[in-house]
Amino acid sequence: MGVLRCDHPDIEEFIAEKANPSEFRHFNVSVMVSDAFMHAVEKDTEWPLVFEGRVYRQVRARELWHKIIDSAYHYAEPGVLFGDTINRMNNLWYREQISATNPCGEIPLPPYGACNLGAVNLTQFVSAPFTSQAALKWAELEEVVRIATRFQDNVIDISNYPLPVQREQAQGTRRIGLGLTGLADVLVMLGIRYGSAESIAFSRDIMKRIAEVTWHTSIELAQEKGVFPFFHVDYLRGEFVKTLDESIQHALAQYGVRNSHHNTIAPTGTISLLANNISNGIEPIFKPEYDRHVRLAEGMRTFRVKDYALQLWREQHAGMPPAWVDTDTLMPEAHLQIQGAMQPYIDNAISKTINIPVDFPFDKLMDVYTQAYALGLKGCTVFRPNPVTGSVLEAGSKEEAPPVDHCCPYEE
């Protein structure tokens, strides 16, 4: 991810780059904003642009904020990272100052840090889907989370790293990011509408359960193999660690922990396709059926794909599932509430895109970002269709396309 501080002298030029169709086309960018900047926006005060201790000029904080959001409105970038929230809640607060993230924003990283991502496919843990007896198989889910935690810890040791300093960082922190995918499909299978109070409570519960199992497994690994090399007693004083269940905090004080960080929500776009096009990450279902544009060696190719939950429903039913909801019918507040419910249990970050329609009012978009900040989120990204950035996903035409299980068959 290309990240620039909100007080950098080049910040206005950086924000404007996405308006140029030939610049940064395959390069995600975000602005790292601080608490001080958000307060300056609220009060509409002057904001200094500084580099190496020298103030180059002053700008109006609210005008700069307007430019950031205007670019996001018209070109889908830059995203916004809330830097002080990221650093305040960083488990390695005693030795790191985070200034950037991995390409999609779900893992804040120090210089030369490496992300180690995994996601549990929630759709495989639903019994009796679409019935009044539909339920999540919690015990099976927890067992898979234990295995995945150990798996990702092993990945750290067997991976190849381009630079020795990257190996040092990865093996020194033993950072992992275990998350989930298929949330929206699972909600439909359980008869819960995405964005409802019940869906928010369910999202909170499932992330809490996954996080607690991950932490307990990492503590078990510390007893078996030792704590991560950069562990220090100050770890126990971290703001995030202090929010953990008392049983976890007690075990941490007694045994330490194998991994510095544990959970995240990644976009999981590609791996969700390989799971027969389940809904990705914690995103709502995009459309019942849509076209996906894939860049192949011979050029772009378009595939028609259908959502996994809908395919499962159509095996025995006509029409749409009762709890069906997709991006067309969701307001940004629903996205934010789901993300906000899960963030307290995630020590890395969440990659989440809020899809908004073309006619969404600009003034309301400004409110989306301030709500994200108030909820304690570590980042916020929106996507409004526009001709410059185009779209990987588009609502499909009525014409039939060649049937495929998903858009990326293994042979391709």
pLDDT digits (tens, 9 = 90+) for 274-284: 999 999 999 99
Output the CA–CA distances (angstroms, integers) from residue 174 to 154, 219, 411, in the order listed: 10, 13, 34
- Read out DSSP for 104-131? TSSSEE-TT----EEEEEGGGGEESTTS
Where residue 120 falls (left for φ over 0; alpha for ψ -120 to 50; beta otherwise) is: beta
Say whether 104 is catalytic.
yes
Token pair, residue 155, equals: 């990945």
User: How many alpha carbons fall within 13 Å on the CB side of residue 267?
Assistant: 9
The dihedrals phi and psi of 379, each to the nearest 5 degrees, come to -165, 165
Residue with tokens 């975000």: 30
The dihedrals phi and psi of 122, each to the nearest 5 degrees, come to -65, -25
Q: Compute the distance between CA of residue 408 and CA of residue 412 in angstroms, rounded to an integer.
A: 6
Say whether 6 is catalytic.
no
Token pair, residue 29, equals: 């960018």
| 86 DSSP 8-state letter | H
Q: Compute the distance between CA of residue 134 and CA of residue 309 in angstroms, rounded to an integer.
A: 13
Residue pair 254/295 in contact by the 8 Å Cβ criterion = no
| 263 DSSP 8-state letter | B
pLDDT digits (tens, 9 = 90+) for 91-133: 999 999 999 999 999 999 999 999 999 999 999 999 999 999 9
pLDDT of residue 393: 55
pLDDT digits (tens, 9 = 90+) for 244-265: 999 999 999 999 999 999 999 9
77, 96, 104, 121: the active-site residue: 104
- pLDDT band for position 398 (cuts 50, 70, 90): very low
pLDDT digits (tens, 9 = 90+) for 212-244: 999 999 999 999 999 999 999 999 999 999 999
User: Which residues are bridge partners to 181 per DSSP?
Assistant: 121
- pLDDT band for position 388 (cuts 50, 70, 90): low
Token pair, residue 311, equals: 């395919």
pLDDT of 308 above 50: yes
Q: What's the sign of the alpha-carbon dihedral 260, 264, 270, 274?
A: positive
Question: Which residues, including other chains, have CB under 8 Å from residue 321's CB and lie 6 or more apart?
Answer: 130, 188, 189, 191, 309, 310, 313
Token pair, residue 9, equals: 């002298």
pLDDT of 165 above 60: yes
Go through the domains of the chain in sequence order and give each one's CATH number: 113-355+391-412 (3.20.70.20)
102, 259, 280, 348: the active-site residue: 102
- pLDDT band for position 24 (cuts 50, 70, 90): confident
- pLDDT band for position 300 (cuts 50, 70, 90): confident
The kind and range of the H/E element at 378 are none
Token pair, residue 4, equals: 């620039």
Residue pair 193/138 in contact by the 8 Å Cβ criterion = no
Token pair, residue 209, equals: 């359960």
Say whether 102 is catalytic.
yes
77, 96, 106, 142: the active-site residue: 106
